[in-house]
Amino acid sequence: MLMQPQIIYEDDNVLVVAKPAGMLVHPTVKLEPDTLYGFVKNYYADAHLNPGVHPVFRLDRFTSGLVLFAKQAKVQAQLSGQAVTKEYLALVTGTLPAEHGIIDAPIARKPGSIVERCVSAAGKPAVTEYWQLGRHGDVTLVRLKLGTGRTHQIRVHLASVGCPLWNDHLYGTPGPQSRHGLHAYKLAFIQPVTGKQLEFTWALPEDLQKILQQEQ
């Protein structure tokens, strides 16, 4: 059973929600109530509110963390046009090239796949900065900051340097997709209506903390 999302912040224009791993952000033909979009829509209905549901960005289904919603399409466009700061905590396997570094490698759709991405000279520019926070047996805890926002960017970049996410069965050991070691822990942006700088964090979830403890 999925954990329930948590409302982290709300004002007249934006909503910040903590998404559990395993939940889609956007609805599909089969899924709406069990998506983050559906959760927000129901939250507004229960509160007798009628704003729009406008996700500013998405997270992969098996990534946990903070997601930003706008309540008006105009605000969504304004937020999409600014440099929203997004930082992640990741559990990775392998040995990183350095304790701190920048992975600057373009990303493209992998030929023959509608889902998988790869590093390719023909791809779009992609930049990820990382800091190694600590080694826990065969797993390393890493902080990452996105310079761009390509699909699967962190997963592709880490795999490209021989350090795929823990339990990433698309870019690491092949297998069915499930919870992997990625958590969007920090979000910072300028509220476009008030001009106020807002910053939020959400601690590493208990399931990933347990993996680190097991690896010690």
Closest to 62 in 3D by CA, of 91, 101, 83: 91
- pLDDT over 90 percentage in the chain: 77
Strands 127-136 and 197-201: unpaired
Rounded CA separation 58/151 (Å): 9
Tell whether the model's pLDDT for residue 198 goes beyond 70: yes
pLDDT in tens, 63-112: 999 999 999 999 999 999 888 999 999 999 988 999 999 999 999 999 99
Report the pLDDT value the prediction gives residue 211, as an integer from 0 to 100.
92
* Arithmetic mean of pLDDT, 155-168: 96
Q: Which of 11, 34, 46, 60 is catalytic?
A: 60
Report the pLDDT value the prediction gives residue 178, as an integer from 0 to 100.
86
Report the pLDDT value the prediction gives residue 118, as an integer from 0 to 100.
96
Which residue in this structure is represented by tokens 């509160």?
A: 47
Which residue in this structure is represented by tokens 């010690």?
A: 216
* Mean confidence (pLDDT) of the chain: 92
Report the pLDDT value the prediction gives residue 16, as an integer from 0 to 100.
98
CA dihedral sign, ordered 169, 149, 88, 121 = positive
pLDDT in tens, 12-64: 999 999 999 999 998 776 655 689 999 999 999 998 887 889 999 989 999 99
Q: Judge contact between 214 and 206, C-beta under 8 A.
A: no
pTM over 0.85: yes
Q: Kind and range of the H or E element at 212?
A: helix 206-215
Report the pLDDT value the prediction gives residue 1, as an integer from 0 to 100.
53
46 tagged catalytic: no
Q: Where are the domains of the chain?
A: 6-211
* Of 102-111, 123-132, 160-169, 207-216, minimum mean pLDDT range: 207-216
Report the pLDDT value the prediction gives residue 216, as an integer from 0 to 100.
63
CATH superfamily ID and name for 6-211? Pseudouridine synthase (3.30.2350.10)
